[in-house]
Structure 1
Amino acid sequence: MASATTPEGAFLPLGERTDSSALLSLILASLDDDKAEDIVSIPLAGKSEMADHMVIASGRSTRQVSAISEKLADRLKTDARVVPRIEGKDVGDWVLIDAGDVIVHVFRPEVREFYQLEKMWQPQTAATA
């Protein structure tokens, strides 16, 4: 199971982390540093039990998507002491990084356009008659 550590070094399940905003800030900074494009942060608190935030970003190629994801995972381990779960890194079309309180999706632009996760999770606008 993915985990985080306390200052004393004890591992805690990621669901017990209390500072999701610090984790979100670290993730957004990492994505920006690695030249991810079209970064979107979606608050999930009150909408889903799976996480407090979802971040969606794009890389221009499968190589860049994989590199962005790998560097983010390394930063989570070293800076936040979080061991994320990662899916899709070897293919590089869509990489999901589960950091506990923050779920990160890194896509190639074509794949992101196809799945349109932002539309599923962002607030719906009122329908007009």
Structure 2
Amino acid sequence: MQAVLTALDDLKADEIVAIDLVGKTSIADWMIVATGRSTTQVGALADKVVKALKDSGAGTPAVEGLPACDWVLIDAGDLIIHLFRPEVRQFYNLEKMWGVDRPGEKRAGA
């Protein structure tokens, strides 16, 4: 997970949030949500995250949403990464759905 957080920080992703999913769902242990300011930045973030995952030995993740780059989903098994443009992130509000404001949840780097 640290390799992904570093990759996002390197390319200046906004509002990076790591959500602990253990005990909430069986789909993954962690979810990372981050924002890119444009479709170009969202695509660049996705490319950098995929490279960071491969370089860290996590293998090649499944990626969806690259053609439009409004919302890119990267599924790396126990880690799921959502990359959004700001208005798309606000519309879906995944942090609220997964309870990021509940005790035990935190913003990355907090």
Gap runs ≥5 in structure 2 = 103-110
Runs of 4 or more above 3 Å deviation: none
Counterpart in the other structure of 1:21: none
Counterpart in the other structure of 1:87: 64
> Separation in 1 of the partners of 2:68 and 2:39?
7
Aligned partner (choices 5, 10, 14) of residue 37 of structure 1: 14
Aligned partner (choices 46, 60, 64) of residue 23 of structure 2: 46
Gap runs ≥5 in structure 1 = 1-23
Give the 3-state SS of the residue equivalent to 1:90 in structure 2.
Answer: coil
Larger radius of gyration: 1
Give the AA of the match of 2:76: A
Question: Do the aligned partners of 2:20 and 2:30 also contact (CA within 8 Å) in 1?
Answer: yes
Pair 1:105-2:72 in alignment? no
Counterpart in the other structure of 2:98: 121
Alpha-carbon distance, 1:123 to partner: 5.5
Structure 1, 98-107 or 78-87: larger mean CA deviation: 78-87
Give the 3-state SS of the residue equivalent to 1:95 in structure 2.
Answer: strand
Identity %: 52
Give the AA of the match of 2:93: Q
Pair 1:96-2:73 in alignment? yes
Query: How many positions carry a matched residue from both structures?
Result: 102
> Separation in 2 of the partners of 1:108 and 1:61?
6
Give the AA of the match of 2:10: D
Counterpart in the other structure of 2:32: 55
Give the 3-state SS of the residue equivalent to 2:89 in structure 1.
Answer: helix
User: TM-score, length-normalised on structure 2?
Assistant: 0.87
Give the 3-state SS of the residue equivalent to 1:42 in structure 2.
Answer: strand
User: TM-score, length-normalised on structure 1?
Assistant: 0.75
Give the 3-state SS of the residue equivalent to 2:53 in structure 1.
Answer: helix
